[in-house]
Structure 1
């Protein structure tokens, strides 16, 4: 009788223990069920993702099977050990793409290795990849003049030399499985993705020499991008067609190059960080550092010294942020867009000018209360008297540039327009400008290509035609020479020939301004000439230019002005501008429908002695106080 009682007591105790700890038991059970549900959900999602991959668009990696055996045997997939991603980058884009690709490959549970071509010796290592089970992906950019970036220079040189070396077997890299992705700007049509083509050409030569030349197939990753573009275009056309069918509209489908805004969200963010006030979809304004300096009585820019502008009343703006060059000394570090023709939505000139003036006045107001700012100049600065169309980009690309200039002159605002000498027809069609500049950054075809990196194939002919068009203008014209040490300071005779071609009224010679380190440029402080070096260059240049003399100097800007002798009246220079007289002449020109013309000699004014070359002040206005800044940080603003 005792045994059943003890068994019953034990069972009761066990049940009681479970009841007392029921909370923990329920929690463990819920956790287990939750984990099981999560595992089932993840497994199902992984399977669905695998099923939804566009397999038809992805290249398949297969075993090298002789052509004759394809009919009688099933093609087997190759086992891939890992993926090696090689990149050659100048500005960091290829490196960034390589890292993104590595992260994507990691999801396939494949080991990846990202390799900088700078640190890789293809002579010793690349041949080993042809026998390995790795897939090699090459991401290479095309930099200046169709050449590879510096980091990939040795790799590409070795590849080209090896492909052309008769001592190296054409099957040297046979078996190498690889993909090539080229980076570059498609606007450089003559050298776009030439480095990618180098990889393809050399590899095809090696693989094509063997019998059954389809053993190694180039997998061009860029083809996937083209396929996606076609798919997107087809999808958009289908959606538009369906929408037109529903509404009964007969409106035609817009072309692929439908006009878009020039300023993208990313570009807007980048330029805003640099201090721009962006206007509409393609314009901008920014406060020049010389405007701020003159507000504080610390002197004006070289235009004040050379031409008598009031720097604190000068607005620096542009109606086109786009440019047709990518100059190595661009102080905007190539954050602005590029193009060879206007292909964006266009804002009206009246709106651009109105918002430019409002934004400029807002920036001037922010100087109120700044230590040293003079009240009289702050009040004067609220009324814009001059406009420097040299902020960034190519203002002459703007289709309504003539209307914009007229609006400036109607407000008695003088115009200083700078062009990069790539649009000769636009120069010929320009209405009168107070002063028209052409940037002459080099004097030979090769040096211009290296320094300006123009987008046009016929850039040199456009450059020469622009100078010829400048010679036809009756108003004031200027050559703007930027000296880059070790790049363009040895071309004196060529510069003299270009001067005879364009016959400018003035020649500004300025040492390049170092704008800090940039992945898009190789310039350093070693490329900035000293002021005395600029003076020496100008002296030698003037000796080759009959009819020209050194007129003015602005040491603080490392700049000199060479003027034609016609501006030297009775032994005194007249490089300054009579702005009131200019506006009077422009009004008569417009009222007469362009019949009553005028020349640069009709609105000159005497140059003060302190601005003349050789004066003790060296171009600094004695009415202001020169301020020497210690440990100054870089400042890339200014015109």
Structure 2
């Protein structure tokens, strides 16, 4: 086949002149260039179509972290610099928190509603007064801030010693709007004085920390609130610089709230000196808070990028700082500093060495530990163990004003009002009617002033320390034993000149025969409680120990006591949470374990369920629930007592008033209902005794009913003889030291008042019975 050289030769002519075998051979020779050419053409076509398509026709996912912009159709044919310039390259933004969600007010007619919560802590009542005064001032200011579309509800001032952390500080509470059609949005403020002693602040910080690290809870569980801000009070006399601790607890609250809210710090942390510029700084902080609340009213958000807005780059981040200083030790003590550069390979190390030595010099051998590069382990800080109640602390001053004598750093003793009453022949404690205790020979004390509950009926709100674990100095038991006895006798001697004190009882009172470990706090919290009990028993002093059913391990390890009480303040989980306000998150599980332990101890010790009835909390329709708990623990006795209202402001802050105190006939009705519920379950219990004067009734196991008579009294001599014979862990039963029959005047239906004494009213006038 001949082709003219002057004629152009096309691909078709060449292919036409080829045999089929030649085509196959040609394909095998050039298939890769052909396929790549086709792929390049297709990619070019696709790119062209993408560039010419309109933006609204694209199926891209919008960026949720950028503000919405108006849709525009780019003019791809424009040659202006604005359209041809390359977009500015930005570093990827770090996204924290959760997706924006629709406000609860969006679907509600009327203005948005915002509820401000003002939390405070106080030991000396100074911050208490400041907080309530500030709350009133804030309410007036917010009325002026209210916009047409936003309404601020009256601020709520909450004492952290009384507030339920589970309700406010795990997830945001649901606050209904005024018309009940939606939920108000929330804003948190904190006034935190910092103390260098154990206080409610320590418990608050522990709670915030546990909430953040609890795998069952979202790390930003409080992100539902609009924002928060903290103001701290401190004293520069004790902490000259911020680094040394000035307002350190307020800073910690601010830090943990930033984590839990997803960096919703609405205004920077404020700090003021209580002995100097405290109120001036509070006013400045208040102005900033009002500006932020005004911004919320106008825009519904905290804004972006302003100082204190809680942006990640402005908030206190918990990311660890790389402690490695980047130094590589070379020969002869030379040091090459490597800043912000990691050694990923041996070749990198070689390059560094080459660049670090003079030309021509032979490097000395280098010793490198390849395991040390990167972040070093965090050094364990040196922790200074604090005293629970130092002598120069507000807690110490508060407790001593209430009549306590503080022994050592964590123990206390106080003379009971029933001791005073018995000395004057005006009636003894219900323990005399039920168990034969002489009230004037009883010492009320505790080796631990700290407790793990914040019960609504406790009259020590905010004064005694709280905590879930022992973190203080531990005083030796002999120091505590000697100290409580000395101070108890001092208080008894002070009664010498009180009118009406009977000489024979005063003489008897100078020898302690009984010890009620129920003053305040949690006795079994003390690490050496068994040694302390041994010292009591060595002097033949009986022990009546009360615990709160929150420390099962300590309860299980407890040795013999004369009578072991467990406070059973509610019949179900929710009711227990509301009335005891426990600090432990697993409080119900701990409670159940304590009941199991009590069941195991029922044939070794006299066990008692103590029920404190609070109207509106744990009386209504709970008799059946209490019967279930009795069936689980099978105690020897069940004491049912109406709550005593102490009439303090802290009680009212806890939601307790005189309306919560049951009448005696209401307690009697409850006891009868409980007794029927026990009988229905086939449990052998009966109503054994009463003490109407203190609104207390005793239900006892049939184990203590002999020949038709109740034997609730204790033979204390037999108890001590058994202890001496068999030891503190000896095997003997409550029946082995059962006392004489319960006096007729103390049995159910007879009132329970000691006939040797004379009842009087509050003014000392004789009451005819």
| Structure 1 residue 254 displacement after superposition | 7.5
Q: Unmatched 5+ residue regions in structure 1? A: 1-63, 71-84, 104-111, 131-136, 232-251, 633-639
Confirm or deny: 8 A CA contact 1:468 1:502 kept in the other structure. yes
- In structure 2, relative to structure 1, the CA distance for the partners of 1:157 and 1:613 (3 Å cut) is same
Confirm or deny: 8 A CA contact 1:395 1:419 kept in the other structure. yes
Confirm or deny: 8 A CA contact 2:685 2:701 kept in the other structure. yes
Instruction: Return the alpha-carbon distance in structure 1 between the equivalents of residues 118 and 524 of structure 2.
Output: 35
Q: Highest Rg: 1 or 2? A: 2
Write 1 or 2 for the structure with the bigger share of helix: 1
Structure 2 match to 1:18 = none
2:280 corresponds to 1:280: no
Structure 2 match to 1:271 = 399
| Structure 1 residue 194 displacement after superposition | 7.0
2:325 corresponds to 1:199: no
Confirm or deny: 8 A CA contact 2:119 2:190 kept in the other structure. no
Instruction: Return the alpha-carbon distance in structure 2 between the equivalents of residues 513 and 548 of structure 1.
Output: 26
2:550 corresponds to 1:457: no
Give the counterpart of 2:736 among 602, 611, 622. Answer: 602
2:164 corresponds to 1:144: yes
- In structure 2, relative to structure 1, the CA distance for the partners of 1:487 and 1:101 (3 Å cut) is closer
Give the counterpart of 1:483 among 613, 624, 634. Answer: 613
Instruction: Return the alpha-carbon distance in structure 2 between the equivalents of residues 291 and 162 of structure 1.
Output: 56
Structure 1 match to 2:205 = 186
| Structure 1 residue 630 displacement after superposition | 3.7
**Residues 225-240 of structure 1 mapped to structure 2, 5 A cutoff:** none
Give the counterpart of 1:88 among 109, 118, 121. Answer: 118
Structure 2 match to 1:516 = 647
**Residues 70-89 of structure 1 mapped to structure 2, 5 A cutoff:** 88-89=118-119
Structure 2 match to 1:38 = none
| Structure 1 residue 145 displacement after superposition | 4.3
- In structure 2, relative to structure 1, the CA distance for the partners of 1:460 and 1:98 (3 Å cut) is closer
Confirm or deny: 8 A CA contact 1:87 1:115 kept in the other structure. no
SS at match of 1:455: coil
**Residues 212-251 of structure 1 mapped to structure 2, 5 A cutoff:** 214-215=304-305, 219=309
CA offsets 1:314-372 (integer angstroms, 9 cap, x no match):
00000000000000000222310001111000100011011100100010001112111
Give the counterpart of 1:260 among 383, 386, 389. Answer: 386
**Residues 80-479 of structure 1 mapped to structure 2, 5 A cutoff:** 88-89=118-119, 115-116=137-138, 120=142, 124-125=146-147, 143-148=163-168, 181=190, 185-189=204-208, 198-200=225-227, 214-215=304-305, 219=309, 255=381, 257-264=383-390, 265-473=393-601, 474-479=604-609
Confirm or deny: 8 A CA contact 1:140 1:181 kept in the other structure. no
Confirm or deny: 8 A CA contact 2:118 2:188 kept in the other structure. no
- In structure 2, relative to structure 1, the CA distance for the partners of 1:214 and 1:528 (3 Å cut) is same
Give the counterpart of 2:671 among 509, 526, 538. Answer: 538
More displaced, 282-291 or 599-608? Answer: 599-608
2:706 corresponds to 1:569: yes
2:625 corresponds to 1:494: yes
Higher relative contact order (CA 8 A, sep 6+): 1
Instruction: Return the alpha-carbon distance in structure 2 between the equivalents of residues 92 and 153 of structure 1.
Output: 23
- Give the structure-1-normalised TM-score: 0.69
| Structure 1 residue 472 displacement after superposition | 1.1
Structure 2 match to 1:589 = 726
Instruction: Return the alpha-carbon distance in structure 1 between the equivalents of residues 583 and 513 of structure 2.
Output: 34
- In structure 2, relative to structure 1, the CA distance for the partners of 1:290 and 1:129 (3 Å cut) is closer
| Structure 1 residue 127 displacement after superposition | 6.5
| Structure 1 residue 187 displacement after superposition | 3.7
SS at match of 2:564: strand
Instruction: Return the alpha-carbon distance in structure 1 between the equivalents of residues 722 and 446 of structure 2.
Output: 25
Confirm or deny: 8 A CA contact 2:120 2:158 kept in the other structure. no
| Structure 1 residue 186 displacement after superposition | 2.5
Instruction: Return the alpha-carbon distance in structure 2 between the equivalents of residues 141 and 518 of structure 1.
Output: 11
Confirm or deny: 8 A CA contact 1:140 1:196 kept in the other structure. no
- In structure 2, relative to structure 1, the CA distance for the partners of 1:146 and 1:377 (3 Å cut) is same
- In structure 2, relative to structure 1, the CA distance for the partners of 1:368 and 1:501 (3 Å cut) is same
CA offsets 1:502-538 (integer angstroms, 9 cap, x no match):
1100000000000113234110000000011101100
Give the counterpart of 1:622 among 755, 760, 765. Answer: 755
Instruction: Return the alpha-carbon distance in structure 2 between the equivalents of residues 449 and 291 of structure 1.
Output: 33
Confirm or deny: 8 A CA contact 1:88 1:117 kept in the other structure. no
2:713 corresponds to 1:579: no
| Structure 1 residue 99 displacement after superposition | 8.8
Instruction: Return the alpha-carbon distance in structure 1 between the equivalents of residues 745 and 509 of structure 2.
Output: 24
Structure 1 match to 2:342 = none
Instruction: Return the alpha-carbon distance in structure 1 between the equivalents of residues 132 and 570 of structure 2.
Output: 42
SS at match of 1:551: strand
| Structure 1 residue 124 displacement after superposition | 3.8
- In structure 2, relative to structure 1, the CA distance for the partners of 1:609 and 1:425 (3 Å cut) is same
Confirm or deny: 8 A CA contact 1:435 1:477 kept in the other structure. yes
Q: Unmatched 5+ residue regions in structure 2? A: 1-66, 70-86, 91-114, 193-200, 213-219, 228-260, 267-294, 322-377
- Give the structure-2-normalised TM-score: 0.58
Instruction: Return the alpha-carbon distance in structure 1 between the equivalents of residues 301 and 425 of structure 2.
Output: 80
CA offsets 1:549-602 (integer angstroms, 9 cap, x no match):
000000010000000011000011110000000001111222xx84x4101111
More displaced, 113-122 or 484-493? Answer: 113-122
SS at match of 2:649: coil
- In structure 2, relative to structure 1, the CA distance for the partners of 1:623 and 1:186 (3 Å cut) is same
| Structure 1 residue 182 displacement after superposition | 7.5
SS at match of 1:544: helix
Confirm or deny: 8 A CA contact 1:88 1:95 kept in the other structure. no
